[in-house]
Structure 1
């Protein structure tokens, strides 16, 4: 996938790999994409964001949201309330969480729980 990106510094490529690894293994660790970028110490944030999108097809924030929504399915399976899941996944409200979930999976959290939970 990295061949899709114009030549970037090794540091930028290492940074996007690190960001993706963080989001894949623990999507709830960082509240914002900015916090994650600060942790990775990306000196050229703009270049890192552009490279991430070029390689993975999503912006960092968008990918973070997708990974959080995937993680939220596991919380729904454990019997947590939708309000608790929304809070754990950094949504301001249960309705904001439900809207994002429906947009991503074309099902509400309640419908998903009924089918898979």
Structure 2
């Protein structure tokens, strides 16, 4: 859900400046996965290859904010989504150019690691190992392990465990049984699942699930 709060236009030193403020509402269960990967402040310089696209989207959004024509609410919402994605692209690109590890967000710009993340995200009910990942993306085991940690910041199996537990907690909050959830995220036993869950969230999956997301 995206909610654009207000649009202010001011004039400073003879140049027009458009100020757009926005609130982005995220699922509380997974919010830290994105927030932890972002800085408190990020400036997109005009030299960034994505700057022109951002500028075009902002200008179009500004026009829609000032012109309440038919369908403007829907257009604003989709433009907000596009603007957020373009911003994330700009941040990811800059950090790749500077060789900075930026968690999973920056890793999406690396074709090999992005392919591995895609497999992890879409096959959580299967046994995912380093060997299966390197075979799928065409890298050696040692090169993949080192490159994944450089790009994402943590080892691949630690990332996979955290991703699975995020999905598992959402299912538990929705009222699913522990045994059913354990199987759905690739665990053959409740005990193994419970150990992994406690490792990530410091609580048992059979206890009262906390809504707040701790940083790990």
Matched-pair contact (CA < 8 Å) for 2:125–2:184: no
- Structure of higher CA gyration radius: 2
CA distance in 2, matches of 1:103, 1:43: 29
Q: 1:106 to 1:15 in 2, by over 3 A?
A: same
Q: Which of 195, 202, 214 pairs up with 1:106?
A: 202
Whether 2:133 is the aligned partner of 1:36: answer: yes
User: Once the two structures are superposed, what CA deviation does each residue of 1:69-110 show, in whole Å capped at 9, x if it has no partner?
Assistant: 111112213322111111122223112111111111112112
Q: CA deviation at 1:111?
A: 2.5
* Greater relative contact order (CA < 8 Å, ≥ 6 in sequence): 1
Equivalent of residue 172 in structure 2, options 76, 89, 94: 76
Instruction: Name the structure where helix makes up a greater proportion of residues.
Output: 1
RMSD (Å) for aligned C-alpha atoms? 2.2
**TM-score normalised to structure 1 length:** 0.74
TM-score (norm 2): 0.43
Map 1:2-81; keep pairs closer than 5 Å: 2=96, 3-4=99-100, 13-23=110-120, 25-28=121-124, 30-33=126-129, 34-40=131-137, 42-81=138-177
Contact 1:72 1:85 in 2 (8 A): yes
Number of aligned residue pairs: give it.
106
Distance 1:69 1:29, change over 3 A: same
Q: Which runs of 5+ in 2 are unaligned?
A: 1-94, 102-109, 212-216
- Structure 1: state its 5+ residue gaps: 6-12
